[in-house]
Structure 1
Amino acid sequence: MARQIIISDDNVSDSNEIKRLLSGFGADIIQTLRICSAKELLTKFKTGDIVICDFKLADGNAVELMEWLDHKNIGCNVFVITDVETVADAVTSFRPGAKDYINKRLIRELLIPKIKTLIGRDDDDNFQLLFSRKSDGYLRAYSAAHVVAPTNLNVMIIGESGVGKEPLAHEIYDMSQQCDRPCVLMDCGTLHYLALNNNTKQQPTLLDAVASQFRKAQGSTVILDNIQQLSTDMQSIMLHVIANCKQPPRIIATASPDISEMVIEGGFLSALFYKIKEFTIALPPLRDCQDDIMLLADFYLRHYNQEFHKQVKRFDASAQKEMRVHSWSGNIRELKHVVRVAVLKSRGEIITSKELDFDTPNTGAHIQFKLKKDDEKSKITSAIVHANGNLTQAANLLGISLRTLLVKRKKYGLK
């Protein structure tokens, strides 16, 4: 279906180039030089139409335009473009609802494919999920990913299980200059099975198998998922393969928060760690992203409405309250499961607290056990006592993985 696209940019040359690149999409394209002209046109736009706006124009900026759109309840998809890309400006743009924040040098590589995808997709699919979060922590992480994506730097994404590290790794690849070449995903927890499936004439070895995977990604990208699960031997093999690649691929790795502790204690090779950790992105746990909880819940509600052929419209006040105070030790993975079960159990159009089955009990005590560097030891001790020695429950209270708790317990000499 044809859409209207408005390009608001006072650089006529840039505006004309964007129009040329979009000319084959079957959309009506209108160009303006000022924010005021864009507003006049946007009052006639339909929900779902597209706006491409320079971050700064002579009479205003894209943030002001998006705030005006929100005030007028005009539901357009806004892409912010810029000559000078900064993380601060990216965060500022995403907060009021920008679909993306793109450097003008990367219009062809990043903006055009995203608009093409948006025009051809339903507004309720996973494309929307990438841009539905508004918390400070997530916006900083996503903006950092956006800044590093066009470079060749290796990236390490650190976060708890279930926070969405692998999807962000794929998003970095999709925004990279290598996105037209094959990307190889390697699950570090199952790499020892690679040799069994590696087709070599001689007896296959783990070194052969890993080297084969890296050759597939020459000049492109390798995603190493859960690198903290690599055995010591496998770490040495990985380091050897990377060092001897003729055309080394870019590496995007995901890791749990205890990876730094493992390096300090000798459980992970520092040479491999710093080879991959050229740029670090920390993905915060869901409990630290309060602004995202209901946004994500509403997204999955719509998704599971389709799966179960339901017409559930919303969560009531009691359900929202319980979801906001829950500790979400399983992060987005747990939230997704809770919403799925709730939609399945619902008998009407509204989900109440009775339909919520949390994967982990919500004691409400997790806030008092939130770790801080200055009193980490005492917090860990209190959590273990509160959980009557059950380390799994203590880890849930602290908001960390059991493995991280074991590492910290050893560090502080706690029994």
Structure 2
Amino acid sequence: MTDHTPEPGPRCRVLIVDDDPAFSGDMTLLLGDRFEVTVAADTAGALAKIAEARPDVVLLDITLKDGVDGFVALARIKAVESPPEVIMLTGMQGPGAVVQAIKGGAFHYAMKDADPGELANLIGLASERAAASRRLASLETQLRRLGGELVVYDPLMLRIMKDVEKVAPTLATVLVTGESGTGKELVARRVHELSARAAGPFVAISCGAVAEAQAELELFGQVRGAFPESTTVRTGFFARAQGGTLYLDEVGRASLGLQAKLLRVLESREFLPVGAAAPVRADTRVVASASHDLQQMCDEGRFLKELFYRLNVFSLVLPPLRKRRDDIVPLAEHFLEVFGAEMGRTGLKFTAAAKEFLVRHEWRGNVRDLRNRVERAVILTDGDEVHVDALLATHFDQGMTITEMDAAIESAREDYLARLHRAYAGNVTRSAKAAGITREAMSRLFKRYGLSEGNG
């Protein structure tokens, strides 16, 4: 595991809040050579020490005997100006207390009998978080980058993003759930970006694409000589994510065999590359996503309950776009600006009727559907205003005969391909991506309608 104990220089200031003098004394001796340690016996004393000594990290006993609940004490500490990071200390580990502590703003939790080296490493991580001051100044002014940021105005999503801010700096495993297209990977990346591991890699694995026979090679890699005449070294997903975050995309699609291997790593915090003699410590934070109901899958025997419990330490449930209508127009305008700039069409705007259509539409494909629809509208729009008809997937006069409808379809297809060809300068790959078809299919369509192929 990476050692996060602070480098020589100004020492991290640690405040131990515990009403057991023997425990506080022992911890002071164990940590005193690495950190600048002070002690308080109760909540009032802790608040006074925080105001006086400005500690970077507080070790807070969850069961103080001063009449103040540990979570109330946590809330009071986090309410001070520029609050320190707080690690909750407990004699008994329970998932409910862990989630409550994290929701209350704690950096992490630790057992009171934890290994001193592990505790020092945890304090180091917390001090890095404190020094970085990663807290957001305002969630309402978030995120304006194509594909990598979220546009958040809706109150429901703002609450979720506040939870993201709270859980990101901890070491807790996160499970992001929601319908397809709701932005689960973007939220997972946001968790990574706001964590102490932000400088490390973010590695995504599509669980449904990993064949069970190849699961060990894909996850854990392979050392040279693992098989007779084998001279290659293969780096697995866990090794690639060392020091960073491993994102398990659609973990509900993982085979039972793959699930078992993931569970083993989450339980042991180590993995064994194929052919290796010794295991490797897994210094990786895991964030998973699912569009399936994992609890129901557990009940049906299609998902391991133990893995579900390991992944579901902290849950983020993303609402569908139709439940966050305050975000629809800002998102659409963001995509309009991005695709307009990409196609040399700056200054495009939606008409009032188009905005009304956007808000009223159900968006069953969620943000992905909206993004694709706006990109197509930019291609179809000739002037500076995007009208409703450019946003419609298809539209026909109900009085059309079959022959007329076939002719209209052919005309619409030819017109659409011509606009697509013009927008992307004949680039087959980009045109195919915009249309949602394969490159081979787009190449055939270009040839069928006499459109030349550009580079790509």
TM-score scaled to structure 2, two decimals?
A: 0.50
Aligned counterpart, 1:277: 312
Candidates 227, 232, 238, aligned match of 1:214 = 238
From 159, 162, 165, give the equivalent of 2:184: 165
Superposed CA offset, 1:318-356 (max 9, x none) = 211211111111100000000001011111111111101
Picking from 352, 358, 377, the partner of 1:342 is: 377
**Contact 1:338/1:359, CA 8 A, preserved across alignment:** no
Of 146, 156, 165 in structure 1, the residue corresponding to residue 175 of structure 2 is 156
Measure the CA separation in 1 of the matches of 2:353 and 2:244.
48
Q: 1:345, 1:260 → 2: CA distance? A: 44
Given candidates 131, 135, 143, the residue that maps to 2:162 is: 143
Q: Does residue 1:298 correspond to 2:317, yes or no?
A: no
| CA distance in structure 1 between the aligned counterparts of 2:250 and 2:159, rounded to whole angstroms | 22
Q: Is the 8 A contact 1:232 1:268 kept in 2?
A: yes
Distance 1:233 1:325 in 2: 44
- Which residue pairs with 2:364 in the alignment? 329
Change (3 A) 1:148 1:177: same
Q: What displacement does 1:191 show?
A: 1.9
Of 262, 267, 283, the residue aligned with 2:297 is: 262
C-alpha spacing 1:210/1:151, structure 2 compared with 1 (3 Å): farther
1:310 Cα deviation after fit: 0.7
Q: 2:132 aligns with which of 92, 95, 109?
A: 109
What does 1:16-95 correspond to in 2, within 5 Å?
82-83=82-83
- Within a 5 Å distance, the mapping from 1:359-370 to structure 2 comes to none
Deviations 1:106-156 (A, max 9, x none): 4642549x99xxxxxxx96349943x3111221111111110001010000
Other structure's SS at 1:236 match: helix
Change (3 A) 1:231 1:274: same
- The amino acid of 2:153's aligned partner reads K
2:269 matched residue in structure 1 = 245
Residue 210 of structure 1: CA displacement?
11
CA deviation string 1:47-87 (max 9, x = no partner): xxxxxxxx999xxxxxxxxxxxxxxxxxxxxxxx8538997
**1:203 Cα offset (Å):** 4.5
Distance 2:155 2:298 in 1: 29
Whole-Å separation in 2 of the counterparts to 1:350 and 1:107: 47
**Offset of 1:184 from its aligned partner?**
2.5
Q: CA deviation at 1:276?
A: 1.0
Matching residue's letter, 2:132: E
1:128–1:169 Cα change, 3 Å = closer
| Distance in 1 of aligned mates of 2:345 and 2:336 | 10
2:256–2:303: 8 Å Cα contact kept in structure 1? yes
Asked whether the 8 Å contact 1:293–1:324 carries over to 2, the reply is yes
CA distance, structure 1, for counterparts of residue 177 and residue 386 of structure 2: 33
Q: 1:110 to 1:265 in 2, by over 3 A?
A: farther
Alignment of 1:380-395 (within 5 A): none
- CA deviations 1:356-402 (Å, max 9, x no partner) are 134999xxxxxxxxxxxxxxxxxxxxxxxxxxxxxxxxxxxxxxxxx
What is the DSSP-based 3-state SS (H/G/I as helix, E as strand, rest coil) of the residue aligned with 1:170? helix
Query: Normalising by structure 1, what TM-score?
Result: 0.55
Change (3 A) 1:352 1:127: closer
User: Does the C-alpha gap of structure 1 residues 84 and 244 become closer, same or farther in structure 2, counting only changes over 3 Å?
Assistant: closer
Unmatched runs of 5 consecutive residues or more in structure 2: 1-50, 55-77, 86-101, 106-125, 138-142, 271-280, 397-456
| Residue 125 (str. 1) matches residue 145 (str. 2) | yes
Is the partner of 1:189 in helix, strand or coil?
A: helix
CA distance 1:107–1:285, change in 2 (3 Å) = same
CA distance in 1, matches of 2:267, 2:394: 43
SS in 1 for 2:208: coil
Contact 2:175 2:313 in 1 (8 A): yes
Looking at structure 2, the residues matched to 161 and 345 of structure 1 have their Cα atoms a distance apart, in angstroms, of 26
- For residues 289 and 110 of structure 1, the distance between their equivalents in structure 2, rounded to whole angstroms, comes to 30
Q: How many residues align?
A: 261
SS of alignment partner, residue 236 of structure 2:
helix
Task: Tell me if the contact between 2:217 and 2:236 (Cα under 8 Å) persists in the aligned partners.
Answer: no
Aligned to 1:284, what secondary structure does the other structure show? coil
Task: For residue 252 of structure 1, give the secondary structure of its aligned residue in structure 2.
Answer: strand
The AA in structure 2 aligned to 1:173 is: H
| SS of residue in 1 equivalent to 2:248 | strand
CA-CA distance at 1:317 after TM superposition: 1.8
Structure 1 pair 226/337, CA: closer, same or farther in 2 (3 Å)?
Answer: same
Give the conservation status (yes or no) of the 8 Å contact 1:178–1:219.
yes
Matched letter for residue 236 of structure 2: S
Q: How many Å separate the matches in 2 of 1:353 and 1:257? A: 33
1:167-186 aligned at under 5 Å gives the runs 167-186=186-205
Match of 1:224 in 2: 248
Structure 1: runs of 5+ lacking an equivalent: 1-13, 18-54, 58-80, 90-102, 116-122, 362-415
| 8 Å contact kept, 2:215–2:258 | no
